[in-house]
Amino acid sequence: MFTAFSQGFTSLRRHPWLFLLLIAAEAIFFTFLALLLYSFAATFMSSLQAMDAFLLAQPWMTADPSQQNLADLNIPTTDLSVMQLHNAAISHAALVLVLWGGVLFVFSRAISYALSSSIAVREPSRGLAVRLGTSLLVAAVFVAAMMYLGWTVIVGLVGNFFSPEGSAAPLYILPLLGLLALLYLFPLALSLCQTHPLTGIPLALLRLGFFSFFRIMGHYMAILLLVALPVLPLLFFTEHSFWMDAVLLLLALAALVYGRIVVVCLASGLIRAKKS
């Protein structure tokens, strides 16, 4: 069942330097992603603290309404432009995070899958530039759809939270199922980009994702376990050195890259088996 793992390991022995290049590319991707997240978190926290300080400085926050007339507090005349300014700053930071994070994710996944196929497939039938272009287009479509469904899920959850009878549940259940389906198909779609023309990917993806569901999910679970093994000590054990953290992070990145190569081997193997 798990012959793709042995095929992936054999492929690594043929291209060790390309494997190291993919690990470095993953490290660069997560570094830029961390910088984006840090920039958003810094803007969010600073704006939140400024809004909190502004509200606490208002007389209607510090005065006791039972001791005086509420009209003397001038609640309607409070200038809320400061609040609007900080709200706009948070919205802009969130937009930058989503847009640049999406662009970074699309380009990094397309490049990584195109290079991974150079490792997994002994003689690729399509050139690197063609595979990269197809991967970019398919990744952009998937990421845009996942962002839309993710936003719909968030809106539905918020609506369901404020709904006393839970009437908003269908607003997020169906998009959530669609989001899970896209997350399941995304690695397969980028793997098929390495061997199929753009017009042949949708039908091949549906056939592969439906008829080989349990086999693919078994490989996904094994890859997640492989990536989780070096990550769990980082989360639950804090008493270790910097070098130990670095080694565990490198092992996690190596497991992630190896798992992607396994998925490419799995998809190409299943396609060959169905053709034969």
Stretches in the chain below the pLDDT threshold 50: 67, 69-70, 73, 76-77, 166, 168
Quick one: pLDDT at residue 168? 46
> What's the pLDDT at 163?
63
Question: What's the pTM?
Answer: 0.82
Cα distances from 203 to residues 136, 196, 207, in angstroms, run 19, 11, 6
Share of the chain above pLDDT 70, in %: 83
Comparing C-alpha atoms, which of 160, 143, 134, 71 is closest to residue 103?
143
